[in-house]
Structure 1
């Protein structure tokens, strides 16, 4: 008898890390610095809250089932924005709204893969991607990344087999923070097109990319949906994490298959969340630009103030979006370092072992710092504590 699906994968890393807090007290002069989760903890901005309150009170449809593939006005808004931002052509028929970006990934894999198929993930990878592949009976094929954590399409080509169904890229990257060059994405697009496999590009953090203009030209090809499946999350842009609103952009024929998955899992995306996301796209561009500027400022602080830690043997392997991905100098595996940091320094972060397969020992030297919820002063305090800490 085989294992049930959920038994084929590991425990949710963020929830596992939270259990490290059990029984640990933090003195008033050294409160916990929680840099474990890549999600804003603040509520949406006040104007959005007021708009949402009016929606709750005045829009009866916000409380009912809606179209499985999402609110038509929101699908149209995403298509228009993507067409403008990427310089290509995206139609509403190529957009579906999902209950968060994780569901968008799950739906995409459900349309692509059968038992025993393979999907290539650059490592370190986003752990929920690996978890869903495990539970789907799909083999995760790790693609090693070199200096800068940028994957190479030539290395990926050597991993493709007759069972390969997709390559997944996350840019800006979780957990590494790095922004993949446009040329890298184009090379993967060309490889996937030539090999007849899908290219899944998760752009959850696109709103916090440090570059100006389009991050890539994948949508310029009029036949982009032959190969590309793009994923997005409204959670990070508008602080809507609890409302679970994401998007998948792909060929209409694929979205017809996605509809089967979504209808049996959630029936429709969150109605209030969709309307809030639409209101945000129509009204919060200037506010979102300020949010991006704040995140980029924190990234700069991390890079500019890292020298004392570097002198102690720490390294920045990647930095961007919400993340700093670090190499620690200690003669202990990172899962032990991360657990000891809770009581020893009042820091909750995730070890690199959570972002790589068990057999990949590189994760034993790595830690992910999610800095979306610590300001300049918090970053300075984080570095002070890390510099003073010994296991």
Structure 2
């Protein structure tokens, strides 16, 4: 189905205009202002580049060199390849012009893009509501309802006046105790309830973990492909993400050798996510232990996101890094929540577990930021964590069935390579073999352009690789009904079969 009218095209693809290398675009240019106590000569004398992620024309693992010195910001694909620096300067590659000496929006927030995954999902839902038969693979949430016993606990909590008032910023004692017990049950090591902070969803835990341990000038090693929120959270904490890319040839798993090559004296932390969003990759117990020992040896904090711990397939097993290397407990922050395991994405309950001083600092921040998580949601989370896992097993069985079908169908497309994900509920195919080929008169050269083409011509919404790191990939969630999954991938198959 073709939509040639300009208004139809812009209506169908407003979202992808804002997706670039890191899922954002350059906004307004800012004046170059040297930080206090730092001269231009000192800046120019700093080392150039960053180790990490791949850009166009760059081999895996090769550093990006800023055209005018060290890279401190992000690539801009949308306006010609310029770089918006962390300090506000725009390189000469940018075509953006300064319109005002004083911007209305702070440079810090203007540099943040909307979450690409949520934007793609929202766009698909809007088009569907407008009558378009769009199938969306962008959602990162189970398509199952929250288990009935959890909902019943929430109803009872809503009727109890004790839950109508403020509660401790760190979380209800009953929930912190349940999280501690669940951690010992599922992860195999003991934590104190006092070392648990309940947050408004997993995202708040991510932001507060980085805020608690990072300072300006720090670097965080970020294995790529990565969840789109991680680099934004790191930058908001004043630090710099350093991408370490592992592509389809490596099964999307970085090695200790790659991490060591990216380490500098400014490396403060490593973000570790297994099972992975967006790739579904799962590190083996041996790989997890090797990475943990390396971090311990070099005094590097490990911030480990374990939100998909219960969603593994085949022979893959989830390995908590603290269980693999117990000595890391004092320099590890664990991020988790009820959203993915219990189909509770809308309830907004997450948590972080860490050393007492870090949890105290993050609690102080939360006391000013949001205070307590909604009491009804917390009571529902207690029911989820203390109940059985039969509903989880049913969801995992359905995800496994859909996973196998999706991978089989994607690998049947010429130019597409899709390793079988071992965890979470995403497939992450390489589409590099499709790029540069002509489809219905258009020749996409990036995965963002290909995703645009797929939405317009096949009415299927997918998330391009630029939202998670390098171009050349697509993310498709298989957390949707079996019939929609088959129909959506069939449309993609039919469209890409026309590639010449």
Q: Is the structural similarity TM-score above 0.5?
A: yes
1:346 to 459, 463, 475: 459
Partner Cα distance (1:303, 1:267) in 2: 43
Q: As a proportion of its length, which structure holds more strand?
A: 1
1:10 paired to 2:113: yes
Q: State the alpha-carbon separation in 2 of the partners of residues 23 and 80 from structure 1.
A: 41
Compared CA separation, residues 204 and 214, structure 1 to 2 (3 A)? closer
Match in the other structure for 1:288 = 392
Q: Tell me, in whole angstroms, the C-alpha distance in 2 between the residues paired with 1:251 and 1:26.
A: 47
Any unmatched runs of 5+ in structure 2? Answer: 1-30, 32-87, 89-105, 437-443
Relative to its length, the structure with more helix (as a share) is 1
User: Secondary structure at the residue paired with 2:466?
Assistant: helix
Contact 2:349-2:378 within 8 A present in 1 as well:
yes
> 2: CA distance between counterparts of 1:24 and 1:79?
43
Alpha carbons of structure 1 residues 69 and 381: separation in structure 2 relative to 1, 3 Å = same
Gap regions ≥5 residues in structure 1: 357-362
Match of 2:21 in 1: none
Report what 2:142 is aligned to.
Answer: 40
Deviation track 1:161-196 (CA, whole Å, cap 9, x = no partner) reads 222111001111011111111222212211111111
User: Secondary structure at 2:275's aligned position in 1?
Assistant: coil
> Cα 1:24–1:96, aligned 2, differ >3 Å: closer, same or farther?
closer
Query: Residue 330 of structure 1: which of 432, 435, 442 is its match?
Result: 435
Q: Distance in 2 between matches of 1:41 and 1:224?
A: 36
Moved over 3 A (4+): 18-28, 211-214, 220-224, 303-307
Distance 1:307 1:149, change over 3 A: closer
Higher relative contact order (CA 8 A, sep 6+): 1
How big is the alpha-carbon RMSD for the aligned residues of Structure 1 and Structure 2? 2.4
Q: How far 1:318 moved relative to its partner?
A: 5.4
Mapping of 1:95-114 within 5 angstroms?
95-114=196-215
- Give deviations 1:311-331, integer Å, cap 9, x for gaps: x12111452311000112232
Q: Deviations over 1:322-355 (max 9, x none)?
A: 1000112232211111122122112111000111
Give the match for residue 381 of structure 2.
Answer: 277
Aligned length: 380
Give the structure 2 partner of residue 65 of structure 1.
Answer: 166
How far apart are 1:121 and its partner, in Å? 0.5
Name the larger-Rg structure.
2
Q: Encode CA deviations 1:104-134: one digit per residue, 9 max, x unaligned.
A: 1111111111112111101111111111122
Q: Cα gap change, 1:25/1:84 in structure 2, threshold over 3 Å: closer, same or farther? A: closer
**Is contact 2:121–2:136 with CA below 8 Å preserved after alignment?**
no
Question: Aligned equivalents of 1:221 and 1:155: distance in 2?
Answer: 20
